[in-house]
Amino acid sequence: MSRPSDHFDTPAPEAPTPDSDGNIVQPKLGFVGWLRWFWRQLTSMRTALFLLLLLALAAVPGSLVPQRAADPNGVTQYFVDNPTLAPILDKVQAFDVYTSVWFSSIYLLLFISLVGCVIPRAKHHFDALRAKPPRTPARLARLAGFQRRTLAPGDGGAPSVSAVAAVDSARRLLRKSGYRVVVFNSADKNGNETASVSAERGYARETGNLVFHAALVGILVTVGVGGGFGFSGQRVLVENGGVFVNTLSAYDSFNPGRFFTETSLDPYSIKLDQFTAAYETKADGAFGQPIDYNAYVTTQERGQATVDSDIKVNSPLRIGGTDVYLLGNGYAPKITVKDPAGNVVFTDSVPFLPQDANLTSVGVVKVPDGLAQQLGMIGFFYPTQAVSTTGAYYSTYPDDQYPVLTLNVYSGDLGLNGGVPTSVYSLDTDKMTQLTGGTTGVESIELKPGDSQALPDGLGTISFDEVQRYASLDIHHDPTQGWVLLFAASALAGLLVSLFIPRRRVWVKATEKSDGTLSLEYAGLARGEDPRLAAAVNEIADRHSKVLSDDRLGDVPAADTNA
Amino acid sequence: MTLDEYSIFLLYAAMVLYAAAFIAFALDLARRSAQVKAGNTVGVDGSVTTAPRVLETASVGSGVGASSAGGAASVAVAEAPAGERATDAADRAVATTGGRASGGRDGGQNLKGRFGADGSITQRSLSLRLGMAFTLLGFLLEVTADVVRGIAAQRVPWANMYEFSMTGTVLIIGVFLVVNTRVDLRFLGTFITGLVLILLGISTVNYYVVIAPLPPALQSAWLVIHVFVASLGTAFFALGFALSGIQLLQSRREVSGSALKFVKLKFLASLPDSTRLENLAYRVNIVGFVFWTFTLIAGAVWAERAWGRYWGWDTKEVWTFIIWVIYAGYIHARATRGWRGSRSAWLAIIGFAAVLFNFGIVNVFFHGLHSYSGL
């Protein structure tokens, strides 16, 4: 079957014949019959179209509701904002639309339908590629672009060019234009000598079509299977802080694919030497907008010298089989806490999470040991601090022009003793007592770089040593993305060929008339979309006429015998 | 004045010309309706040929002056030839690339019109030619405005909503003008200039932002390629949308049998038949589809560099995918029994509605990584 049974070219199915009572009798289908019926339905064009439109429709909810894969914080927020609706939506996998059962079943059915359609078409096309063009139809006048031209008789009343020679020159012309040709010679019913050439071109149209669909299957399979071999992880690096070594424990978070093994991690190290950010200082509407981020890093692969590299947005670092992307940045104030005797009990650059475009940032400092009580602090960092009319602090510019750090201190149980891992970015204050800020009546600790201040209740002192920046790096490994690109490029190439190369048949028929004239008929047949068919037939007729008249002026060259 | 202010001034000037073009195109459609009602034959190119039998009672040179009695009598008669003429004129326009379909087959031509062998007079449409002239002038001004904005910003002028709108509408008009050199689609002028005016109106009022440097995520060669090709695809889809819309009206008219039953929109009689409109829409839409496919792939390549993954179901990615699937459905629908014709035209219309939604709604109101509207 060349096309699905409901392709518009195929004749409409006959209505079933009613029996003597006028009831429609369908043939009985056995189990295999039903299977075949189901397969026919699934692989029909109509089903494919239905599934395509259903796929478009099913993709919509994922853009209306935040998705766990793309926006996990948005999902958490959605649960907070819509406490009754969210669990119901979660039941129907609305937060994981693109991995949900219903979305997956639509595209899997679509691809099964596609494969079921493409395989028979590939076989048919393979046969067509080896077949000869069909016989010339008896009446060309019914076909597209038909025209008849007459060649005047030569000296002595005989045709100046024989039908066979005329058709042979048409054959050569068509072959040169990329047609596959076959010549038929016979006499018509009036006994006139007739020759014709049947030609077909544009087989690449169907080839492109098959390549396009096969490439789509290729993308799906590569993504589905190959995605399991990759991984992605995140790591925050502070300027001149810790060194990242590519091992599982060095990641802050890590998402392995199904077939990931730890041994596939190639050991290398990355150290952040400096992070620079440039911001717009002029344009009115865009004051403070970032212009450039650059992470200057020193990397080292196993057994090799250290290398200095830059990691920028849009310019990831390719190292050790992974790609390292600069996806975030912020401030990490360096904070030191001393006990009343002056011994350092805590010193670290603490990454703060940016809250707005001017990088007002929030962070948490936890001092579990060394002081009389466990200490937790929630800090706000303002790179360029300003005070609003209500007395609240905010940041007016993302660069550290006038940095200020404020801290609310809590004492009590940090919740770390149980050994349960907790987030370094949040503080559970349920079992803690607030010592500064809020309703305590004690002013929050407020520090500028280099400042030092006493902690409340004589617990010790705290100092803000310097402003440091951190870079948040995403480290990805996806061995299949080259293949996906290859398949995508093939799909595009296949699409271009299948949409813009016309598949057409052209016939040239020459008949020697009894009056010595030679009647030449030209006609074409579109196979699929072919808006230029009539023009193409006309052009062939023109070129053929020119060849024939040129041949007549000079001596007719010996027909070349190479078919 | 700063360069950006020059750009805005030029843009407003272009909008004035588009408005003039819109009026001229609308007058042409009104003229077509009037002429069809008067029983004359109107070609796709807007040329009016007075019916020979009307000529006897009407004053020479004025097609509108057909006597009411003669006009009413010839309506039904003129209907069929008008449709026929429309198709064959359009076919000739395709066959002779670059050539414009002409209304009359033979006869001399003077300022007033062309005289047919049967005594009929063929007159070209002045308003249509004015419309095209205004559109072309407006286009040149808008291109200049766009280029000046790019020079002022020292980068490609399509990095925020305001600039997308400007470049996108330049491309819509540009594609319309280029396609018109091959096929006479001037009858779409009202729609195209109207659409562009609305888009420019919304963008100058709501989307205008001062020139700002590119944020780091947009500093890539892919900005030039990905966004430009997406806009180009949109321009072709816009043309396809217009053709599919008219195709639906036309097929309704054809089904209803006579122009008399379909009282409004008489100018439809002067437009190509629904089959030809469908073929034209298909050819325009598949070009758009190829550009859209490229946009999708180029976007994925860029996303891999900028965001570390080539596909992440970001809202804009989702909608680009949805549009791609709808148009894929459209192409398949044309090959499925029962779907060719009006049903597939509806898919093209839904597809373009999704394109507009993706541009106007998703960019501004949806949360996602493509938040570059600059608003």
> Over the stretch A270-285, which tens digit does the pLDDT of each residue have?
999 999 999 988 866 7
Q: What is the CA radius of gyration of chain B?
A: 23
Round to whole Å and give the CA distance between A245 and B300: 29
3-state secondary structure of A361: strand
What is the model's pLDDT at position B1?
78
What is the model's pLDDT at position B231?
94
Round to whole Å and give the CA distance between A58 and A51: 10
3-state secondary structure of B282: helix
Is the CB of A59 less than 8 angstroms away from the CB of B314? no
Round to whole Å and give the CA distance between A197 and A184: 6
- Would the pLDDT of A155 be above 60? yes
3-state secondary structure of B60: coil
What is the model's pLDDT at position B258?
57
Supply B352's token pair. 């373009």
What is the model's pLDDT at position B92?
42
- From the list B94, B314, B329, which residue is nearest A531 (CB)? B94
CB-CB contact of A175 with A127 (8 Å):
no
- Which residue type does A113 have? S
Burial degree of A439 (CB within 10 A; 0-12, 13-18, 19+): exposed
Q: CB atoms < 10 A from the CB of A255, how many?
A: 13
Q: Which residue of B has its CA nearest to A493?
A: B290
Is the CB of A313 less than 8 angstroms away from the CB of B283? no
> Over the stretch A60-80, which tens digit does the pLDDT of each residue have?
999 899 998 888 888 988 999
What is the model's pLDDT at position B329?
95
- Residue predicted with more confidence, A443 or B92: A443
- Would the pLDDT of A327 be above 50? yes
- From the list B209, B219, B329, which residue is nearest A314 (CB)? B219
Average pLDDT of span A122-150: 91
Residue with tokens 């440097």: B213
Of A231, A258, A257, which Cα lies nearest the Cα of A246? A231
Distance from CA of B280 to the nearest CA of A (A): 9
Q: What angle do CA B302, B304, B306 make, to 5 degrees?
A: 65
> Over the stretch A333-376, which tens digit does the pLDDT of each residue have?
999 999 998 899 999 999 999 998 899 999 999 998 888 888 89
Supply A506's token pair. 């052209």
Q: Which residue of B has its CA nearest to A97?
A: B313
> Over the stretch B324-372, which tens digit does the pLDDT of each residue have?
999 999 999 988 888 888 999 999 999 999 999 998 888 888 877 776 6
Confidence class for position B102, pLDDT limits 50, 70, 90: very low
Burial degree of A189 (CB within 10 A; 0-12, 13-18, 19+): exposed
> Over the stretch A384-421, which tens digit does the pLDDT of each residue have?
999 999 988 999 999 999 999 999 999 888 888 777 77
> Over the stretch A186-222, which tens digit does the pLDDT of each residue have?
777 777 788 999 999 999 999 999 999 999 999 999 9
Count residue pairs from A and B with Cβ separation < 8 A. Answer: 155
Ranges A475-479, A559-563, B230-234, most confident: B230-234
What is the model's pLDDT at position B239?
95
Best mutation target, B305, B319, B325, B372, to test chain A (most A CBs within 10 A)? B325
Supply B89's token pair. 């004129």
Distance from CA of A293 to the nearest CA of B (A): 7
- Would the pLDDT of B105 be above 70? no
- Would the pLDDT of A498 be above 70? yes
What is the model's pLDDT at position A17?
64
Question: For the CA atoms of B3, B6, B12, B16, what is the dihedral angle to 10 degrees?
Answer: -140
Residues of B in contact with A10 (CB under 8 A): 337
What is the model's pLDDT at position A515?
83
Supply A331's token pair. 């401030």
Q: Alpha carbon of A80 to those of A59, A65, A74, B58: distances in Å?
A: 24, 14, 10, 77
- Residue predicted with more confidence, A170 or B40: A170
Is the CB of B213 less than 8 angstroms away from the CB of A52? no
> Over the stretch A7-50, which tens digit does the pLDDT of each residue have?
666 666 666 666 667 676 667 778 888 888 888 888 888 889 99
Supply A270's token pair. 């990355």
The DSSP symbol for A153 reads B
What is the model's pLDDT at position B163?
93
Q: Which residue of B has its CA nearest to A293?
A: B216
- Would the pLDDT of A472 be above 90? yes
Mean of pLDDT over chain A: 87
CB-CB contact of B305 with A315 (8 Å):
yes
> Over the stretch B262-292, which tens digit does the pLDDT of each residue have?
557 778 888 888 899 999 999 999 999 999 9
CB-CB contact of B291 with A499 (8 Å):
no
Total residue length of chain A: 563
State the helix-helix crossing angle for A101-130 and A203-221, rounded to 10 degrees.
150
Best mutation target, B222, B275, B337, to test chain A (most A CBs within 10 A)? B337
Average pLDDT of span B136-163: 94
> Half-sphere exposure of residue B176, counting CA atoms within 13 Å on the CB side?
31
Residues of B in contact with A59 (CB under 8 A): 318, 321-322, 325
What is the model's pLDDT at position B88?
44
Q: Alpha carbon of B275 to those of A41, B270, B330: distances in Å?
A: 29, 14, 16
Q: Alpha carbon of A121 to those of A48, A118, B11, B233: distances in Å?
A: 15, 5, 52, 30
- From the list A70, A286, A492, which residue is nearest B213 (CB)? A286
- Give me the long-range contacts of A389-394 (CB less than 8 A, separation at least 24): A394/A358, A394/A360
CB-CB contact of A512 with A518 (8 Å):
yes
> Over the stretch B189-200, which tens digit does the pLDDT of each residue have?
999 999 999 999
- From the list A63, A476, A491, which residue is nearest B309 (CB)? A476
Is the CB of A12 less than 8 angstroms away from the CB of B337? yes
Task: Decide if A357 touches B, using CB distance below 8 A.
Answer: no
Task: Decide if A286 touches B, using CB distance below 8 A.
Answer: yes
Which of A 308-347 lie inside 8 A of B, CB atoms? 312-316, 323, 325, 327
- Residue predicted with more confidence, B175 or A417: B175
Is the CB of B282 less than 8 angstroms away from the CB of A529? yes
Which of A 451-480 lie inside 8 A of B, CB atoms? 474, 476, 478
- Which residue type does A316 have? P
What is the model's pLDDT at position A561?
41
- From the list B216, B329, B340, which residue is nearest A314 (CB)? B216
- Would the pLDDT of B71 be above 60? no
- Would the pLDDT of A254 be above 80? yes
What is the model's pLDDT at position A39?
87
Round to whole Å and give the CA distance between A506 and A520: 13
Task: Decide if A293 touches B, using CB distance below 8 A.
Answer: yes
> Over the stretch B180-228, which tens digit does the pLDDT of each residue have?
999 999 999 999 999 999 999 999 998 898 888 888 888 899 999 999 9
Mean of pLDDT over chain B: 81
Residues of A in contact with B293 (CB under 8 A): 491-492, 495
- From the list A6, A63, A325, which residue is nearest B337 (CB)? A6
pTM assigned to the model = 0.85
Lowest mean per-residue pLDDT among A151-155, A479-483, B337-341: A151-155
Strands A504-512 and B121-123: unpaired
Residues of B in contact with A284 (CB under 8 A): 210
Residues of A in contact with B326 (CB under 8 A): 53, 56
CB-CB contact of B186 with B132 (8 Å):
yes
